[in-house]
Structure 1
Amino acid sequence: MPAETLRYAYFPGCVAQGACRELYQSTAALAEALQIELVELKKASCCGSGTFKEDSQLLEDTVNARNIALAEQLQLPLLTHCSTCQGVIGRVDERLKDAQYNDPAYLNQVNGLLTQQGCLPYQGNGEVKHLLWALVGDYGLEAIQAKVKRSLSGLKCAAFYGCYLLRTQRHLPYDDPYHPESMENLFRAVGATPIYYRGRTQCCGWPLSSYATTQAFQMAGTHIQEALAAGADCLVTPCPLCHLNLDSRQPEVEKVIGQSLGLPVLHLSQLVALALGIDPQRLGLDRHIVSTASVLRKLGLSPLSKGTLES
């Protein structure tokens, strides 16, 4: 366990408080088990999921400079558990830190808009960090391994990194953006077997789903088929938007590709929390569209009935 209690300014994002409520719940359970303190940024706003910049880069930067400033006020790193939020907010942080030296007039413009609205200015002295990076880089794999109470031995997990987590930011201190291993190393630390397949670092198709639904579902179907062919018992993703496209829409994906799939898709926090001995019901494993029963049976646990978890 780390020498000091880890504390973060927690940015839960929108999807984890709505369509993927189980991510919010499992992150809280995981943090409690690891004695990580999460100070939730209740005044934070949606990062925009990359859509704000389609209208205005200034809009995206200003909205997320405010989010970062809320964490800076607490003198804590901003923690996300969404790859899309990490990609957007982390890239804004990089851009504005660059602006401090290369384009101070632009940073002044952003901060001017913030102060007009009574918001704190962006200082550029903080850090934006995904839960995966916090677990691997701050808490440490050996410390997590020492906390394991329920080995995931025999469970074959296929990581689905997606695209935002790996390649939106220029600097990725915890992994290789094209040949990542952080999730696979975490799987090994909790006793699971990592499964490799071609699509693990590709887009899930979610960004296309509002205007090219068939193509988006074909992309998702290809990834799931490849993971199944490689022997995966489940997909594990650090992004709730990927989870929506791969789990919530899997029945629609099956219709588009004309094949049954039935591959459970777990949030990263759920998988690690299972290894720490946390009750599956606490983790919202009954909220998934694709049943997680096969995963629980493989771990010697009883499947959950749909809807047993309180919202």
Structure 2
Amino acid sequence: MTLKYAYFPGCVAQGACRELHQSTQALTQALGIELLELKKASCCGSGTFKEESQLLEDTVNARNIALAESLKLPLLTHCSTCQGVIGHVDERLKAAQQTDPAYLEQVNGLLKQEGCSPYQGSSRVTHLLWALVGDFGLENLAAQVTKKLSGLKCASFYGCYLLRVQDQLPFDDPYNPQSMENVFRAVGATPVMYRGRTQCCGWPLSSYATESSFRMAGGHIQEAIASGADCIVTPCPLCHLNLDSRQPEVEQVIGRSLGLPVLHLPQLVALALGISPKELGLDRHVVSTRPVLEKLGLLAGTR
């Protein structure tokens, strides 16, 4: 049976991290997973809408979920922040169906005013990581590998939103997660454990406490390097921005050269399926991915 999802790409993956959108499409096509993009969806708010109004956050994301419900599909995102925000709204509104139907009626009333379908609670919100682990299955994933990533030491960076925003976390332990590491093993790579893998990357601080944000990111990268990592792999584009795109600025703040490549989760998995680095956008990173590709014997189309 073909897996099919209503695809919520989010903002960053179609802007600053276009390689994430690119590699997600390449990976899912290779695995036979069908994505129907929700082109009318709006930004989840990245956790900021609720600073103004929880009703605003709930209504905006009830609409996003309702778009998936209209397709009778689960909503899939590849952004940990989107997963945390939309997934938590979904939990809250499903609970409201039983405990506070008047609130849900208020949300749906606002959607009706805008000509939108009501939230019904008939779908689920899932991250690409959970789709690979729980829906597609690690054994099936391992069977699709054509280029084992043998010898590559990968440090996961889960970030905050994927692990600690929702009340119920599928397929993992929020305090000692293993799903990323299990994906690494399935594609032949070696997981590297270090303290910072479940901590905040510092992105939420970056607009008003930039130095603190960069010191936070620099500490995580240094820990990963000290643990022997060849790269960091993250399921969150906002974490990727702070750890990769801003790594040169991080180096200036901490006074140390780093140069550790940071890969998006679908890029890593897709490499093991034989998809070319160029097709996965590995030439778009600020920190060169060349050391990773050299270790794997894959250099075409990268700097």
Please give the range of the TM-score, normalised by the shorter of the 2 chains.
over 0.9
* One of 239, 244, 247 as aligned partner of 2:236: 239
Q: How does 1:177-216 map onto structure 2 within 5 Å?
A: 177-216=174-213
Q: How does 1:62-73 map onto structure 2 within 5 Å?
A: 62-73=59-70
Residue matched to 1:296:
293
* One of 98, 114, 118 as aligned partner of 2:111: 114
The TM-score normalised by the length of structure 1 is 0.97
Residue matched to 1:45:
42
Query: Aligned equivalents of 1:139 and 1:9: distance in 2?
Result: 16
* One of 230, 250, 253 as aligned partner of 1:253: 250
Residue matched to 1:31:
28
Query: Structure 1 residue 303: deviation in Å?
Result: 5.4
* Amino acid in structure 2 at the alignment position of 1:48: G
* Amino acid in structure 1 at the alignment position of 2:243: L
Count of residues in Structure 1 that have an aligned counterpart in Structure 2: 303
Q: Does 2:273 correspond to 1:268?
A: no
Query: Structure 1 residue 301: deviation in Å?
Result: 1.2
Query: Aligned equivalents of 1:198 and 1:304: distance in 2?
Result: 34
* One of 203, 206, 217 as aligned partner of 2:214: 217
- % identity of equivalent residues: 79
Query: Aligned equivalents of 1:91 and 1:199: distance in 2?
Result: 24
Instruction: Output one character per residue of 1:259-305: Cα deviation in whole Å (capped at 9) or x when no partner.
Output: 00000000000000000000110000000000000000000111544
* One of 76, 97, 100 as aligned partner of 2:94: 97
Residue matched to 2:4:
7
Instruction: Output one character per residue of 1:50-91: Cα deviation in whole Å (capped at 9) or x when no partner.
Output: 000000000000000000000000000000000000000000
Residue matched to 1:153:
150
- Computed over aligned residues only, the root mean square deviation of the Cα atoms, in angstroms, reads 0.6
Query: Aligned equivalents of 2:290 and 2:170: distance in 1?
Result: 36
CA contact (8 A) 2:278 2:302 kept: no
Query: Aligned equivalents of 1:302 and 1:117: distance in 2?
Result: 50
Query: Aligned equivalents of 1:273 and 1:173: distance in 2?
Result: 23
Q: Does 2:153 correspond to 1:164?
A: no
Extract unaligned runs of 5+ from structure 2. Answer: none
Instruction: Output one character per residue of 1:192-245: Cα deviation in whole Å (capped at 9) or x when no partner.
Output: 000000000000000000000000000000000000000000000000000000
Equivalent residue of 2:51, what SS? helix
Residue matched to 1:309:
none
CA contact (8 A) 1:293 1:304 kept: no
Residue matched to 2:172:
175
CA contact (8 A) 1:99 1:106 kept: yes
